[in-house]
Amino acid sequence: MKKFLTIAIALVLVIGCVANASAITVGFSQVGQESDWRTANTDDMCAAIEAEGWTLVYDDAQQKQENQVKALRNFITQGVDYILFTGVVTTGWDEVLKEVNEAEIPLFLLDRMPDCMDEIDYVAAFGGDFLEEGRRMARWTINYLAAQGRADEEINVVILEGTTGAAAATDRTKGIMEVLDKQDKLKVIASQTGNFTRAEGQAVMESFLKAHEDIDVLLAENDDMALGAIDAIKAAGKVPGKDIIIVGCDSVKAAFDAIVAGEMNCTVECNPLYSSAVIPMIKGLEEGKTYEKGVVHPEEGVFCMDGGIPYDEAGELLSVKAADVIDERKY
Ligand code: GZL
C-alpha cells in the first residue's frame, strides 16, 4: 500500500510540473514580415516557445504601430504570463507599456527598444547594438577602399535607411555618420528610407541611379534592401560589387549567396536568433531569478568577399571570408 501511495504522489507531482510548464502562455508582439531577418527572428522564437510545450499567442503587426498597441491590449485581456515585444518604431509606447506594467505581466523588450524603456518596468532586454553595426559598416568600407588602393579617392556614397523612426534605422544611420564625419574622402550624396524591404530598396536605388551617374558605394541598413538595390544596379547596366561597392547589414543567407557570387561586398551581422537567450531567461524568472536592466547584445561579426578587412575602432577585428562560413549559417 505504502509503495502504491509513493508512486501516486510522485505521479501527481510530475503531472503537476508538466501541467505547470505547459501552462505558461507567452504573448509575442512582432513587427511584421518585412525581411529575411524578421522571418528568422520570428521562426526561431515561435519554434522555441512551442518546443517548451508553452502556449504561444503570436501577433504580426504588419509594420503598423496601431496593430501592436491592439495586440498588447489583447494580451492583457487574455492574461498571458509573459509578453515579448519589439516596437516597430521607437516612440509612442509609454501609455500601453504602462498598462502592461499595471497588469503585472512580465515584459521582455526585444530587438528595437522603446524610448520609454527607462520609465517602465521590464524583466530583460535583448537585441542588436545598432550604433556599433552602423559604425562597422562605415569602418569596413573605409578600410576596404584603402586595401583596394583607393584611400585618396573622392568617394560618393548613397545610403538606404531602414524604417523611418525604427531604432535599427536611426542608430545605424547615427553610427555610419559618426565614422564618415571623421574623414573627408567619403561623401554621402543621397540617403533615403527603403523601409527594410527588398522591393522598396530596389525602387529607391533606381531613383538614386537616375539622379547620380557617379555612385561608388551603397550602404544598405539591411541585406534585403541591398539585394533589391543589386537588381536596380544590374538593370542600370552597372556591375554590383565592382562598379558600386555594396555593404549590407543583418548577415542573412541571401547576402552570403550574393557575396559568394561577387555581387555584394560585405554584410555586418545582426543576430536574429534570440531564443537561446530568452527561453532560459523565462525559465529563470519561473524559478524566481531576476535580470539586470539594460540591453544584452548578442555576439556579432562582419563577413565579406575575401575576408581580412578590419571593422572595429582599434583595427584588430577582421572580417571573415563569407565562402568559408556560408555552409554553417543558420539563417
Ligand atoms: C534589427 C531589426 C531590423 C533588421 C531588418 O534588429 O530590427 O529589422 O535589420 C528588420 O532586416 O526588418
Nearest of 129, 125, 189 to residue 159 by alpha carbon: 189
| Residue 289: strand, helix, or coil | coil
Query: Is the domain of 107 the same as that of 209?
Result: no
Query: Is the domain of 287 the same as that of 317?
Result: no
Query: Is the domain of 183 the same as that of 199?
Result: yes
Residues in the chain: 331
- Give the pLDDT score at 12: 56
Say which CATH number the domain at 90 has. Answer: 3.40.50.2300
CA-atom Rg of the chain in angstroms: 23
- Give the pLDDT score at 122: 97
- Provide the residue range defining the domain that includes 84: 2-122+272-296
Residues 48/279, Cβ–Cβ less than 8 Å: yes
82 lines ligand 1 (CB under 6 A): no
Rounded average pLDDT over 253-275: 97
Q: Give me the number of domains the chain comprises.
A: 2
Query: Is the domain of 90 the same as that of 66?
Result: yes
Query: Is the domain of 101 the same as that of 161?
Result: no
- Give the pLDDT score at 7: 65
Amino acid of residue 197 = T
Query: On the CB side of 188, how many CA atoms lie within 13 Å of its CA?
Result: 18
- Asked whether residue 4 carries a pLDDT value surpassing 80, the answer given is no
- Asked whether residue 140 carries a pLDDT value surpassing 80, the answer given is yes
Query: Is the domain of 287 the same as that of 251?
Result: no
Query: Is the domain of 318 the same as that of 205?
Result: yes
Phi, psi of 41 (to 5 degrees): -65, -45
Amino acid of residue 235 = A
- Asked whether residue 16 carries a pLDDT value surpassing 60, the answer given is no
Rounded average pLDDT over 308-313: 96
Query: pLDDT digit string (tens) for 114-135?
Result: 999 999 999 999 999 999 999 9
Which residue minimizes the CA distance to atom 2 of ligand 1? 168
Ligand 1 mean position to 37 CA, how many Å? 6
- Grid cell 520609454 — which residue? 116
- Asked whether residue 142 carries a pLDDT value surpassing 90, the answer given is yes
User: Which atom of ligand 1 is nearest to 37's Cα?
Assistant: 11
- Asked whether residue 64 carries a pLDDT value surpassing 80, the answer given is yes
pTM of the predicted protein model:
0.92
Residues 101/107, Cβ–Cβ less than 8 Å: yes
170 lines ligand 1 (CB under 6 A): no
* Ranges assigned E (strand) in 162-244: 186-193, 217-220
What string of DSSP letters covers 119-176? TS--SEEE---HHHHHHHHHHHHHHHHHHTT-TTS-EEEEEEE-STT-HHHHHHHHHH
- Asked whether residue 14 carries a pLDDT value surpassing 60, the answer given is no
For a mutational test of ligand 1's pocket, the pick from 86, 109, 196, i.e. the residue with the most ligand atoms closer than 8 A to its C-beta, is: 196
- Asked whether residue 310 carries a pLDDT value surpassing 70, the answer given is yes
For a mutational test of ligand 1's pocket, the pick from 30, 33, 37, i.e. the residue with the most ligand atoms closer than 8 A to its C-beta, is: 37
User: Which atom of ligand 1 is nearest to 32's Cα?
Assistant: 12
Which residue minimizes the CA distance to atom 6 of ligand 1? 111
Residues 281/123, Cβ–Cβ less than 8 Å: yes
196 lines ligand 1 (CB under 6 A): yes
Ligand 1 mean position to 139 CA, how many Å? 20
- Give the pLDDT score at 6: 64
Query: pLDDT digit string (tens) for 30-56?
Result: 999 999 999 999 999 999 999 999 999
Query: Is the domain of 111 the same as that of 23?
Result: yes
Query: Is the domain of 166 the same as that of 308?
Result: yes
- Give the pLDDT score at 223: 98
Query: Is the domain of 215 the same as that of 70?
Result: no
Query: Is the domain of 160 the same as that of 66?
Result: no
Query: Is the domain of 142 the same as that of 166?
Result: yes
Which residue minimizes the CA distance to atom 3 of ligand 1? 168
